[in-house]
Structure formats: structure tokens, C-alpha cells
Structure 1
């Protein structure tokens, strides 16, 4: 059966986004983030600057945009509600990192890992990206809270979830910075698990 037009459009949109982001990360790494204009990215990707902005509203989004919030929320929703909050959240963060490093576009784990590493190294070394990364941190925290909060929401439980999510994300951030600074020598999911274990004293994988 032929693919439906809407499915084809979604697939092509995703492919265009991946191609633009790949060219952007490559150019930012080679030339420097501040020295590379959006028009340079558009030229490298073979699209117009308007197309770039349609997929990535800001220059920072060319590095920061990913599916991690969706991946983590899906894994939290699939986890057992009997597990402690930090185990559910921590396990989802470890699994999400594994998916990003091994199961990304193209099915090439080595290429996916290098692409994620290049993005993280840009985030760590570029002041403008470090500032915007905080926004992504809050967005991921909210995605975690939304995946765990029941309806109607209990303010006390919501507060506990927010606290647990914030603590887990702080541990993950420490692991991400270490991974970027070490040029990806360790396995990222294991490094995140080590950080969570150091913070909470239990394995999350």
C-alpha cells in the first residue's frame, strides 16, 4: 500500500530537519558558532534561509532541538508506578540517552553518537547556547512532570515530582558535561547512571 500524503510530508519534513541540523552542527564545529550565519547553513543544506527558519525558529535551535523530551516522557509513562520517583525518572533518562546515541536517524550508532557529542560540545563551549540550554532543561523537567502528574493534579505530589525531576536532571547534566569534555570516551547512558547512583545511591538502569 502506498504511503499516505500526510505520512510522506511528515517523513520529508523530518528528513529536511535532520539534514539542516547536521549541516549546521558541522559548520558550527568547523568554523565556530558565532562565525557561522544561518545563511551559511542554508547554502550548505541546499535550502533557503526561510526554510531553515521554518524548521528552526532561532539559530540556537539548530543545535538544541531534539526529541529527548518525547523519548523520556514515553519511557516514564511505560515504567511501573510502583517504582520510586527518582528510579522512574532516572531510568527514563538513561534509556533516553541510549536511544539518542544508538537509535537515531540513519541507524548508524557511531554517527549518532558523534553527532550528539558535537552538539553537546557546542552547548558546553558556546555562551549563547549555554544560556538557551537552561530553557531546554526546564522544558524537559516539565515534560517529566506532565508524564507523572495525575488528573486532577495534587499540588503536593506535583511538588515532589518537580523536586525529583530537578535533582535527576542536575545529575544528568553533570554526566553530559563530563562526556563532552572527555570527547565521548565513556558510554553516555552508563555515565548518567553513575551520576544518578552518586546522587541517590541506587542503580537506575
Structure 2
């Protein structure tokens, strides 16, 4: 099961005089993540680095922002993956304290900062929306509409021709329920269309 976050959560670590300010927060996509990172850079002009990692479906990313390759963004991304998160941006603002941490130390510092923020975060289950479309006789239109509405379905399209074609969006767990219920109530007269 995938998880997202209800709201942003923060952490702060001090490691060998370097200050690491972490944040994990829900974001819808990469564009929102990039905008948030730009805002953080503006808020922290004296920071040495603003590193980030994003888990958002096919838009995942990891950025080291000048830290040695693979020592910041990648460890942060692995923490998000380990927690099975999606639609989540992790950022760490680093104020350099004058003591080098080495590659292993940096990777631990960035991963720990994100992990500490996640300890304060409230996870929420990601509910994916799916698309269901069916064709049916006019006599069943009211019944089918009521069944979809009962599970929170949103009507996307309706077409009236020889039969009625209805297309709905709904949360994935409800899709199985409504299909089973309509198979029983429709007695073979409701036909699911490709792409559902």
C-alpha cells in the first residue's frame, strides 16, 4: 500500500557543527516540488545546500545540490521508498559548519534528517482513482447511477444511443465492489467497456 502525508513535518539535526533542516510534505507533482525548492532557496539564502528528493509516481527525482554525487538526494529518496510514500517531497537545507563529514557521513546525515521528519509526520493511505465505463439498457440507467453514487463515483461522461454508456471515476477499492454488485443486479445486461 502506498502512503502520502496529511501535512508537512519538520526536523532539525546538528552534526559536527553543520545544521540540517529537514521537511517532508505532500506535493501533487514535480512542478510543485520544484516551486517549493525554489521557495526554500529564497528563504535560506545563506544555506550551503538545499537538497531534495521526490516520490511522485513517474516523476520521482533526487538532487544533491552541489554535495558529492549520491550523498544527499539518493539517500533521501531511499528513505521515502522504504516508507512506501508517494506524492511526497523531502527537502534538507544544510548550513555548513566547517567540518567535512565524508561521503558516508553526508549520506547518513541527509537520510537521518528525513527519517526524523517522517517520525513526526501523519501518514495517510493513497487512494488511487480509476475509470470505469459500461454500456447498459435504458431500463438499468437509474440503478447503475445509484450504485456508482453510493460508492462515491463521479460521473465523467454519459452517452445515449442504442444503449446508455456511462463513465465514472471512483476510488480503486470501491471499483471492485461496484463491479461485483452490478454483475449481480444487472444479470449479464451490463457490459464493461475497454479501458476500465
TM-score w.r.t. the length of structure 2 is 0.25
The structure that has the greater radius of gyration is: 2
Bigger fraction of residues in helix:
1
Bigger fraction of residues in strand:
2
TM-score w.r.t. the length of structure 1 is 0.24
Which structure exhibits the higher relative contact order, with contacts defined as CA atoms closer than 8 Å and separated by 6 or more residues?
2
